[in-house]
């Protein structure tokens, strides 16, 4: 049960998904002592600014003195956009799981094909048509990238290595990130990886991943 004193984690899903895919993360992070909420948004049909505004409203309604964000894939783009346009002073740390910040070979390849461009949705296309957002200096960002190349990206010619089956390690890089971790997991495997959640918990608690 959440209290006003709790550190709260908000989980944000990726493209074509719903907050239900974050149930395991919710359970595991609750076991680590956090209050946890799942945010759902129209990842395919919704625009980047609108989804970011919805996330801002969700955060505004969330109790607690400290809030952290954990976002998978496209959800990271929504979280970063929200932080640049409607930041909440309670947000301390953000963990991005396979978020294509710097580029996305698979998504941009699909969006260049008229018959497939709709698959990537509005939020994705708007992210890569705009400058990268400027983040508040008070927020610490941690990045987790995967290197298990199992996923739909195997159907896309020319996907560079290393990758998680959809997003390359280089595509997740953010110069301003405080720490980054590369795990042997696939893009969708991040949603069910206990090792991934342990690294998330490490960053939320200490501001760094466990590199031991």
In a domain, 126, yes or no: yes
Alpha-carbon gap, residue 170 to 173, rounded angstroms: 6
Q: What pLDDT, on the 0 to 100 scale, is given for residue 56? A: 98
Alpha-carbon gap, residue 111 to 121, rounded angstroms: 9
The Cβ of residue 3 has, within 10 Å, a number of other Cβ atoms equal to: 10
Percent of the chain with pLDDT over 70: 98
Quote the DSSP letter at residue 61.
Answer: T
pLDDT digits (tens, 9 = 90+) for 137-152: 999 999 999 999 999 9
- Looking at the predicted structure, is the pLDDT value of residue 1 above 60? no
In a domain, 65, yes or no: yes
**Taking a C-beta distance cutoff of 8 angstroms, is the pair 123, 77 a contact?**
yes
Cα 173 to Cα 66, 121, 179: the distances in Å are 26, 22, 10
In a domain, 64, yes or no: yes
Q: Please give the average per-residue pLDDT across 128-132, as a whole number.
A: 95
In a domain, 92, yes or no: yes
In a domain, 212, yes or no: no
In a domain, 1, yes or no: no
What pTM does this model have?
0.95
Q: Where are the beta strands (DSSP E) in the chain?
A: 7-12, 35-39, 66-72, 91-97, 140-146, 179-183
Most confident residue range from 110-114, 153-157, 164-168: 164-168
**What CATH number has the domain bearing residue 102?**
3.40.50.1820
Q: Is 95 exposed, middle or buried (0-12, 13-18, 19+ CB in 10 A)?
A: buried
In a domain, 211, yes or no: no
- Looking at the predicted structure, is the pLDDT value of residue 69 above 60? yes
- Structural domain including 39 reads 7-206
In a domain, 102, yes or no: yes
In the chain, how many domains are there? 1
């Amino acid at each position: 049960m959440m209290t006003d004193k709790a550190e709260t984690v908000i989980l944000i899903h990726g493209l074509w998904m719903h907050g239900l895919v974050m149930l395991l993360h919710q359970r595991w992070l609750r076991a680590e002592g956090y209050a946890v909420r799942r945010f759902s948004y129209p990842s395919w049909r919704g625009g980047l600014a609108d989804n970011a505004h919805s996330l801002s409203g969700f955060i505004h309604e969330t109790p607690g003195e400290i809030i952290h964000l954990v976002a998978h894939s496209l959800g990271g783009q929504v979280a970063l956009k929200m932080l640049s346009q409607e930041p909440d002073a309670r947000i301390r740390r953000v963990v991005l799981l396979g978020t294509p910040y710097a580029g996305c070979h698979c998504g941009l390849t699909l969006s260049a094909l008229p018959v497939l461009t709709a698959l990537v949705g509005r939020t994705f296309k708007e992210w890569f048509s705009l400058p990268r957002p400027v983040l508040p200096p008070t927020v610490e960002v941690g990045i987790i990238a995967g290197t298990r190349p199992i996923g739909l990206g195997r159907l896309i010619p020319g996907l560079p290595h290393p990758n998680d089956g959809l997003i390359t390690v280089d595509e997740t890089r953010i110069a301003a990130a405080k720490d980054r971790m590369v795990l042997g997991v696939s893009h969708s495997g991040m949603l069910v990886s206990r090792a991934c959640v342990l690294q998330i918990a490490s960053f939320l608690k200490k501001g760094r991943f466990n590199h031991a």
